[in-house]
Structures are given as structure tokens and as C-alpha cells.
């Protein structure tokens, strides 16, 4: 278990502000954020490599805030691995054991677990990225740490190796039951391994939760955009739906229904994969949030087709290959688009009072 309470740290103009996070025992937690958001600094604070200005850090029910890195019981894999170039693979893995003066060496056992026994006699120079990553992991695991802290552990690897290593990381984490914090800016990586994730931006924690919650229910425009949602709209409330459950809003010239009761200005989103596109010239009028649009551009992204639509609002849809083939796509072909209410998520609301204040200002 790791608990960070109200962590503050500053260096130059960068500030980590009142960051609180808790990772449960045996949880694989991914800390996401763009470069420069403070992920690595936070990890180094957990390691004790950076002294925090305020707050407390607990690792495995022990307050380690004032403890040196060597006594925190952590396994740390830094970015680019920082393998000692003057030592062999075996000496790198055994480094921590030698420092502690352990005579019983479980280097081979750890190397076997990671499938790098054949590399033990090799120098660090000449190892591939994936091999280096495994050696760094073995070096961190050989001391049987209570928690594992990984700083962008697979960012330097190619796509295929990255996926392999992520699978292996998760397997080892599950096998050892280690609480793991994995720092990354890559969403695919997070989806490969994370039980839960958090998003950090400019030293401020934006949201914590399951990846599904971050994906479908982001709390801010930043989180939505970081989770690669481009369909974000600013709208003005027109009226409450008679049912009282939805609100009718105006986006450009389009009237749409969004879930909940709101007034003033709202910002809402819909994920590209939730936008429904079908053949047809005009909407049938029976379904809500349906309108005509034209196919602007499309691109095969491997697992799906990215379709850009131009209409009363510009929209992005991710379609399966099968569904896209059904459109018989050609440039400017008219299609019918539906944004189902249940897939619309309201990001923020600016009430009437706030709008009046803004106008006065």
C-alpha cells in the first residue's frame, strides 16, 4: 500500500501542489500525464530522491517521509533504466544484494523469472532495449521490495516489445502481489496494465479512477482531451426538456438534448466510438440528437476507421471496418449521425449567475 498525503514540492517555477493519492496493496496503478506534468518528480518524491516541502508518504503502513531511499523498501526502475555501465548484467542485478552484504544470492532465480539467465555474463553495452528493461527490473526486484516504482519503463521500446514487456510486467506484478506505480504518458500502455490510473497536469492531480471512468466520465476538458476525445462542444442551454431529465442546448445551429438539468453555458463531450453514423440523406425525426452530415475525410487506423464529419457541428467518429464498409463511403457523401443522450457526458456548467458576472466584468 502507498499513501501520499497532500504532497507539495517545488523546483524552479514548477510546483507539485497538494497531491494526495492512495494505491491499494497489490494494485497496479498508472500515473498518466503529458511530459512536464510532474509524474517523474512525484515518483522521485515517493523514492525519497526528492525531499518534499510538505505532506506525508506512507509505504506498507509505515511513514517513510523522513526516511532515506535505501530504507524505504522500494524497487525503482528509472527512465532509460540507468544500468551501471561498468558492471556486467549479473553484477547489476546483484548490486543491491552486495550492498546489503547478503551471501545468499537469488540472482539466478530472479533472472529466470524474467527470462534473462542467458544474459548474466554479458556487459550492459550491446543489450537491446527490451533486455535492458528486464535487467533493470531484475535489479529492482532482487531485493524483494514492498512496492515497485516504474518511471516510463517501456517508453524506449518498439511497439511489439512494449506490448510484450507490459504483459510480462503485469504477470510479475500479479505473481508477486506487488503494489506498483507505473508512470507513463502513453494511454495504450495504461490500458495494458492498469487497475486504476490518475492524470496529472502541471503538478496538479486532475482525476483518479478506473480507466473506464477516465475515458467515459472525465471531470475536465483536459482529462477528456488527454483521453483522446476530440468531440468537445460548448453550448448554451435553450430549455429544460418537459420530462425534466434532459436539457435542450444549442450548439451552433443545432439543437441537442444532453442528460441532466442545467442552465447557462455547458460543455459536453461524446467519445468518437459512441457516435453512430449510418447511410441516409435526412434523419427520420423519431430519434433524438440525429442530424445530417457529410463525410469529410477518413483514415484506416488499423483497428478502426477514423471518420471526420462536417455538418452543423464538426464531429469525429471511430467506426469498425464493417460499419464503415456499409457506408459505401465517398467524399461529401451525406450520412445520418446520432449522438445518443446516454453517451453524452457533461464536462462543466457555467450557471446564469456566473454568466452575468462574466458579462459585467
Partner 1 sequence: MKSATNTPVRGWRDRVFSAAAFLFVTVFIAFVLVLIVTDVLYVDRKAVLTVLTSKFILHALWMSIWTSLLTTLIALLFAVPMGYALSRFHLPGHILADAIVDLPIVFPPLVAGLTLLVFFSATSLGRWIQEDLGLEFVFQPKGIVLCPFVAAASFAIRSAKTAFDDVDRRYENVALTLGCTQWGSFHRVSLPLARNGIIAGGILTWARAFGLFGPLMIFVGSFRGRTEVLSTTIFLEQSVGNLEVALAIALLLILIALIAVTGIRLVGGSALVRL
- Asked if residue 69 binds partner 1 (CB under 8 A), the reply is yes
Q: How far is the CB of 327 from partner 1 (least distance, A)?
A: 50
- Asked if residue 76 binds partner 1 (CB under 8 A), the reply is yes
Burial 99-109 (b: 16+ CB within 10 A, else e): eeeeeeebbee
Which of 35, 61, 66, 100 binds partner 1 (CB under 8 A)? It is 100
- Asked if residue 315 binds partner 1 (CB under 8 A), the reply is no
Cα torsion at 91, 92, 96, 101 (round to 10°)?
Answer: 10
Which of 35, 61, 66, 68 binds partner 1 (CB under 8 A)? It is 68
- Asked if residue 82 binds partner 1 (CB under 8 A), the reply is yes
Q: Convert residues 115-154 into a mask of x (bound to partner 1 by CB under 8 A) and - (unbound).
A: ------------------------xx--x-----------
76 alpha-carbon distance from chain centroid = 20
Q: Any residues with CB less than 8 A from the CB of 49 and at least 6 apart, and which?
A: 69
Q: Rank residues 33 and 96 by Cβ distance to partner 1 and give the closer one.
A: 96
Q: Any residues with CB less than 8 A from the CB of 204 and at least 6 apart, and which?
A: 17, 19
Cell matching residue 129: 532495449
Size, binding site for partner 1 by CB under 8 A: 25
Containing 93, the helix (H) or strand (E) segment is helix 89-100
Q: How far apart are CA 104 and CA 124, in angstroms?
A: 24
* Cβ contact 215:227 at 8 Å: yes
- Asked if residue 78 binds partner 1 (CB under 8 A), the reply is yes
Containing 11, the helix (H) or strand (E) segment is strand 2-11
5-13, 46-54, 237-245, 266-274 -> range binding partner 1 (CB under 8 A): 46-54
- Asked if residue 213 binds partner 1 (CB under 8 A), the reply is no
Q: Among 186, 85, 181, 176, which residue's Cα sits nearest to residue 136?
A: 85
Which of 55, 95, 211, 251 binds partner 1 (CB under 8 A)? It is 95
**Which of the residues 249 through 308 are near partner 1 (CB under 8 A)?**
none
Look at the chain and count its residues: 361
- Asked if residue 162 binds partner 1 (CB under 8 A), the reply is no
Q: How far is the CB of 86 from partner 1 (least distance, A)?
A: 5
Q: How far apart are CA 197 and CA 182, in angstroms?
A: 9
Burial 2-17 (b: 16+ CB within 10 A, else e): bbbbebebeeeeebbe
- Asked if residue 11 binds partner 1 (CB under 8 A), the reply is no
Which of 32, 74, 107, 150 binds partner 1 (CB under 8 A)? It is 74
Which of 10, 70, 238, 297 binds partner 1 (CB under 8 A)? It is 70
Q: How far is the CB of 69 from partner 1 (least distance, A)?
A: 4
Q: How far apart are CA 81 and CA 133, in angstroms?
A: 6
Which residues of the chain form contacts with partner 1 (CB under 8 A)?
44, 47-49, 68-70, 72, 74-76, 78-80, 82, 84-86, 95-96, 99-100, 139-140, 143
Amino acid at each position: 500500500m502507498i499513501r501520499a498525503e497532500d504532497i507539495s514540492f517545488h523546483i524552479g517555477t514548477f510546483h507539485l501542489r497538494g497531491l494526495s493519492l492512495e494505491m491499494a496493496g497489490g494494485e497496479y496503478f498508472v500515473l498518466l500525464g503529458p511530459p512536464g506534468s510532474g509524474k517523474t518528480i512525484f515518483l522521485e518524491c515517493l523514492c525519497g530522491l526528492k525531499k518534499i516541502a510538505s505532506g506525508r508518504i506512507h509505504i506498507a503502513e509505515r511513514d517513510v517521509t523522513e526516511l532515506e531511499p535505501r530504507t524505504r523498501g522500494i524497487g525503482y526502475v528509472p527512465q532509460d533504466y540507468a544500468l551501471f555501465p561498468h558492471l556486467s548484467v549479473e553484477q547489476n542485478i546483484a548490486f543491491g544484494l552486495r550492498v546489503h552484504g547478503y551471501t545468499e544470492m537469488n540472482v539466478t532465480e530472479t533472472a529466470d523469472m524474467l527470462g534473462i539467465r542467458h544474459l548474466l555474463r554479458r556487459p550492459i553495452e550491446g543489450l537491446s532495449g527490451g533486455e535492458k528493461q528486464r535487467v533493470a527490473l531484475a535489479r529492482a526486484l532482487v531485493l524483494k521490495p514492498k512496492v515497485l516504482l516504474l518511471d516510463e519503463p517501456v517508453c524506449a521500446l518498439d511497439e511489439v516489445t512494449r506490448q510484450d514487456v507490459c504483459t510480462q510486467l503485469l504477470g510479475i506484478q500479479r505473481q508477486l502481489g506487488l503494489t506498483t506505480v507505473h508512470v507513463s504518458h502513453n494511454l495504450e500502455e495504461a490500458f495494458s496494465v492498469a487497475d486504476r490510473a490518475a492524470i496529472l497536469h502541471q503538478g496538479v492531480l486532475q482525476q483518479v479512477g478506473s480507466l473506464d471512468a477516465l475515458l467515459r466520465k472525465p471531470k475536465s476538458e483536459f482529462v477528456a482531451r488527454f483521453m483522446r476525445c476530440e468531440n468537445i462542444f460548448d453550448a448554451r442551454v435553450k430549455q429544460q426538456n418537459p420530462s425534466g431529465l434532459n436539457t435542450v442546448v444549442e450548439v451552433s445551429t443545432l439543437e441537442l438534448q444532453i442528460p441532466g438539468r442545467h442552465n447557462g453555458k455547458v460543455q459536453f463531450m461524446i467519445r468518437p466510438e459512441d457516435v453512430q453514423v449510418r447511410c441516409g440523406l435526412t434523419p427520420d425525426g423519431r430519434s433524438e440528437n440525429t442530424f445530417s452530415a457529410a463525410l469529410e475525410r477518413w483514415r484506416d487506423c488499423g483497428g478502426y476507421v477514423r471518420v471526420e464529419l462536417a455538418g452543423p457541428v464538426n464531429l469525429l467518429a471511430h467506426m469498425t471496418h464493417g460499419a464503415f464498409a456499409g457506408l459505401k463511403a465517398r467524399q461529401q457523401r451525406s450520412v445520418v449521425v446520432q449522438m445518443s443522450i446516454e453517451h453524452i457526458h457533461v464536462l462543466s456548467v457555467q450557471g446564469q449567475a456566473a454568466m452575468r458576472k462574466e458579462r459585467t466584468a
